[in-house]
């Protein structure tokens, strides 16, 4: 019961801050813009698709429909979203330290575990809402704007997914995207427990993300040995939701590694937070 | 008929606290920050119902002890009880305690009312009538919907007190509550503290380096120097230990009074002020002097002690 109230408090605090809406506002502006631009300028892409597959398949509806548009945007955004997500996770502990409000909060008869769990839960709920809002805009608005049809996926050739199947695939993709973004939030929380200003954790999260991303993508022998153990190697695993058949084993290996990282960062963050003396 | 046991078990004490125990009881608390011994085996007892002044110069260890009690830092050794509940119970030790440590800080983008609700929700004390009553008590009801960033320092400090009172504490710990306030703000906070202690029946544990402030409102005090407790007790007991005090006498005939005082063995130093005579005298000799002066026909309109605590404080400092 107390955990519920604490989480409710944390969500109230998150949504009372302007910075929590920055990412949502960015999506609200950019995604409709991309969808509009997508509608204006895919004639060339459409002709290419039709010339390559129309002789072999009958495509129901336009090949550049809402599903294709949503897939196109997801590919484009997965590297940018972490920065927007880290704005909230990075502030969740450090912001309270900077304001001095943590001193007030921590004198109440509440365990540090409860405080930590409630803040983590609230951050994860925010992350979920963030990913869902992204999904709602890309897929929902995409389907309204560009209509429903078979979905074309370019993966070792062209894969055509029926519209009913495509919708399920998107939900799977959003679920794995959420888990990936939850890891970004966990890293931001980890840095947030260590410092007393909210900028440091955001920069720290992005620096770590970019560093690990570089190591996981550079085709150098020395890095190839560690790449299977780096979380960024699995950050685009949501794409596998659109393969046929879905490689569930690969998906869950990536899922396991991401979840292990979440547990590691949150566990370490809790140890730091529990031992921390509040001196300011 | 079944017999009902009224004995308090140790489990009850852990859960409910013990109403007969001191409000706060610290035993051998030590805390070191790298090379600095901030607290060195500090033991003190705060009686229930008192306004307890915790005095010491800057850096003496006042805030460190308060932060240990408030759960903000962990002591290296020692323990404390709050109303009979042991610090070994973890965060539950603070069930009947509330604290305003250092300056009051808030979510500045939220209103006074929203700030109260957020904290009240943590302990189940966020009912509208309770929140509004406390805002009214601290004179902030009319500004409850205003964002805290528009408040003066004095108003913020009052809001901090209102927040501290949310869980209906039996022990209220205040760390330098008048720091940063102008004289009027300091006066207001002192009044509120006295009002809270009497009307709400709350024991107050107050740290300050302002001796005059403590002398005005506290019934008991403790003094700390360099992390070690130097003295503690009720104000009256401590004053009885003071050797010499400065007393200002307001009399009808200052010439006669001066002549009398110069001859008296009880008085050690005499200074004539514009409308009074200042004398230095042993604390225990004050009643006798006043009696003899009256008997010789000198009318005394007032006899007020000046800076008793300061004298005591300085004498202890010199002794260190």
Q: What tokens appear for B264 in the block? A: 């008296």
Omega into B40 within 30° of 0, i.e. cis? no
Residues of B in contact with A5 (CB under 8 A): 121-122, 124
Q: Which long-range contacts (CB under 8 A, 24 or more apart) does A162-171 make?
A: A162/A60, A163/A60, A163/A61, A163/A67, A166/A67, A167/A67, A169/A241, A169/A242, A169/A246, A170/A67, A170/A70, A170/A135, A170/A139, A170/A241
Question: What is the C-alpha to C-alpha distance for residues A175 and A179, in angstroms, rounded to an integer?
Answer: 7
| Percent of chain B surpassing pLDDT 90 | 42
Confidence grade of residue A47 (pLDDT, cut at 50, 70, 90): low
B315 vs A197 pLDDT, higher one: A197
Nearest to A109 among B95, B104, B163 (CB): B95
Q: If you average pLDDT over residues A60-77, what whole number do you get?
A: 78
Residue closest to B207 by CA, chosen among B38, B51, B26: B51
User: DSSP readout, B67-93?
Assistant: HHHHTSS--SEEEEEETTEEGGGGGGG
Residue of B102, B103, B122 with shortest CB distance to A6: B122
Distance between CA atoms of residues B95 and B54, nearest Å: 22
- Find the closest chain B residue to A280 by CA distance: B102
| Contacts B93 to A, Cβ<8 Å | 109
pLDDT tier at B110, thresholds 50, 70, 90 = very high
Please judge whether B121 and A13 are an interchain contact, meaning their C-beta atoms are less than 8 angstroms apart: no
The pLDDT value given to residue B224: 92
Cα of first residue to Cα of last residue in chain B, in angstroms, is: 64
Reference A265, options A201, A164, A188, A203; nearest CA is A188
Each residue of B131-173: pLDDT tens digit?
999 999 888 999 999 999 999 888 998 899 899 999 999 999 9
Summarize the confidence of residues A68-76 as an average pLDDT. 84
Mean pLDDT of A234-257: 90
pLDDT at residue A147 above 90?
A: no
Has residue B291 got a pLDDT over 70? Answer: yes
Distance in Å, alpha carbon of B97 to nearest chain A alpha carbon: 8
pLDDT at B9 over 60: no
**pLDDT the model gives residue B2:** 41
pLDDT band at B5 (very low <50, low <70, confident <90, very high): very low
pLDDT of residue A45: 64
Q: Report residue A67 as tokens.
A: 């599903």
pLDDT at residue B233 greater than cutoff 80:
yes
How many angstroms separate the CA atoms of A210 and B234, rounded?
63
Closest CA to B134 of B151, B104, B112, B153: B112
> Which helix (DSSP H) or strand (DSSP E) does residue B187 occupy?
helix B183-199
**What's the confidence (pLDDT) of residue A141?**
92
**How high is the pLDDT of residue A39?**
76
CB-nearest partner of A106 from B71, B95, B123: B71
Compare CB distances from A107 to B72, B92, B124 and report the shortest one's residue.
Answer: B72
Rounded CA gap, A38 and A15, in Å?
A: 32
- Most B CBs within 10 Å, among A105, A109, A273, A278, to test the B interface: A109
- Count of CB pairs separated by less than 8 Å, A with B: 82
How do residues B20-35 score in pLDDT, each as one tens digit?
Answer: 789 999 999 999 998 8
Asked if pLDDT for residue B8 goes beyond 60, the answer is no
Chain B positions contacting chain A at CB under 8 Å are 67, 70-74, 90-95, 97-110, 114, 118-119, 121-124, 160, 163, 167
Average pLDDT, chain A: 87
From first CA to last CA, the distance across chain A in angstroms is 30
B116 vs B98: CA distance, rounded Å: 14
Determine whether the interchain pair A99/B90 forms a contact, defined as Cβ–Cβ distance below 8 Å. Answer: no
- In DSSP terms, A151 is beta-bridged to A161
Tell me, yes or no, if A13 comes closer than 8 A to chain B by beta carbon: yes
Residue A130 has pLDDT above 90, yes or no: yes
Q: Are B239 and B283 in contact (CB under 8 A)?
A: yes
pLDDT of B65 higher than 90: yes
Contacts of A12 (CB under 8 A, 6+ apart): B118
Residues from chain B contacting residue A278 (CB–CB below 8 Å): 67, 72-73
Average pLDDT over chain B reads 86
Chain A hits for B98, Cβ within 8 Å: 107-108
Q: Nearest CA to CA, how far is A120 from chain B (Å)?
A: 17
Which residues in B lie closer than 8 A to residue A13 (C-beta atoms)?
Answer: 107, 118
pLDDT given at position B90: 84
- pLDDT classification of A15: cutoffs 50, 70, 90: very high
pLDDT in tens, B186-230: 888 888 888 888 887 899 999 988 888 888 889 999 999 999 998
Q: What is the mean pLDDT of residues B114-137?
A: 92
For the ranges B109-113, B197-201, B298-302, the lowest mean pLDDT is seen at B197-201
- Does A4 reach chain B within 8 Å, measured CB to CB? no
pLDDT one-digit tens code per residue, A161-180: 888 889 999 999 999 999 99
């Amino acid at each position: 019961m107390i955990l519920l109230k604490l989480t409710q408090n944390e969500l109230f605090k998150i949504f009372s801050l302007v910075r929590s809406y920055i990412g949502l506002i960015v999506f609200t502006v950019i995604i409709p813009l991309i969808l509009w631009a997508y509608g204006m300028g895919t004639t060339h892409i459409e002709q290419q698709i039709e010339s390559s597959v129309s002789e072999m398949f009958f495509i129901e509806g336009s090949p550049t429909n809402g599903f294709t548009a949503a897939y196109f945007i997801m590919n484009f955004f997965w590297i940018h979203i972490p920065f927007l997500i880290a704005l909230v996770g990075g502030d969740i502990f450090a912001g309270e330290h900077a304001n001095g409000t943590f001193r007030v909060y921590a004198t109440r008869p509440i365990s540090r575990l409860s405080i930590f769990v409630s803040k983590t839960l609230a951050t994860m709920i925010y992350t979920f809402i963030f990913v869902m809002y992204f999904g709602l805009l890309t897929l929902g608005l995409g389907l309204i704007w560009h209509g429903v049809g078979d979905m074309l996926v370019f993966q070792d050739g062209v894969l055509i997914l029926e519209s009913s199947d495509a919708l399920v695939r998107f939900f799977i993709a959003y679920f794995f995207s959420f888990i990936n973004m939850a890891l970004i939030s966990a890293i931001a929380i980890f840095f947030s427990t260590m410092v007393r200003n909210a900028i440091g954790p955001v920069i720290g999260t992005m620096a770590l993300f970019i560093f690990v991303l570089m190591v996981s993508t550079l085709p150098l022998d020395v890095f190839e040995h560690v790449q299977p153990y780096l979380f960024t190697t699995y950050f685009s695993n949501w794409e596998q939701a659109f393969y046929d058949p879905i490689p569930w084993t690969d998906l869950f290996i990536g899922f396991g590694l991401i979840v292990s990282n979440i547990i590691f960062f949150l566990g370490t963050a809790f140890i730091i937070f529990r031992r921390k003396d509040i001196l300011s | 008929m079944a017999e009902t046991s009224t004995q308090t078990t140790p489990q009850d004490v852990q859960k409910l606290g013990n109403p007969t125990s001191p409000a706060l009881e610290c035993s051998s608390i030590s805390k070191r920050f790298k090379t600095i011994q901030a607290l060195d085996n500090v033991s003190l007892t705060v009686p229930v119902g008192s306004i307890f002044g915790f005095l010491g110069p800057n850096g003496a260890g006042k805030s460190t002890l308060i932060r240990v009690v408030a759960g903000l830092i962990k002591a290296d050794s020692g323990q404390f009880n709050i109303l009979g509940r042991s610090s070994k119970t973890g965060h539950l030790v603070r069930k009947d305690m509330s604290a305003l440590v250092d300056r009051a800080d808030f979510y500045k983008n939220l209103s006074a009312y929203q700030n109260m609700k957020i904290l009240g929700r943590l302990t189940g004390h966020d009912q509208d009538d309770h929140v509004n009553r406390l805002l009214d008590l601290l004179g902030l009801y009319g500004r409850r919907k205003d964002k805290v960033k528009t408040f003066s320092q004095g108003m913020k400090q009052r809001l901090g007190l209102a927040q501290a009172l949310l869980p209906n504490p039996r022990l209220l710990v205040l760390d330098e509550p008048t720091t940063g306030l102008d004289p009027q703000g300091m006066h207001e906070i002192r009044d509120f503290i006295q009002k809270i202690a009497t009307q709400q029946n709350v024991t107050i544990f107050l740290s300050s380096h302002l001796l005059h402030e403590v002398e005005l409102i506290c019934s008991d005090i403790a003094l700390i120097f360099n992390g070690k407790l130097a003295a503690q007790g009720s104000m009256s007991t401590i004053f009885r230990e003071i050797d010499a005090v400065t007393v200002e006498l307001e009399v009808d005939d200052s010439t006669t009074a001066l002549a009398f005082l110069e001859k008296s063995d009880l008085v050690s130093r005499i200074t004539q002020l514009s409308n009074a005579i200042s004398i230095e005298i042993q604390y225990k000799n004050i009643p006798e002097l006043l009696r003899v002066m009256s008997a010789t026909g000198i009318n005394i309109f007032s006899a007020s002690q000046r800076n008793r605590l300061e004298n005591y404080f300085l004498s202890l400092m010199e002794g260190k």
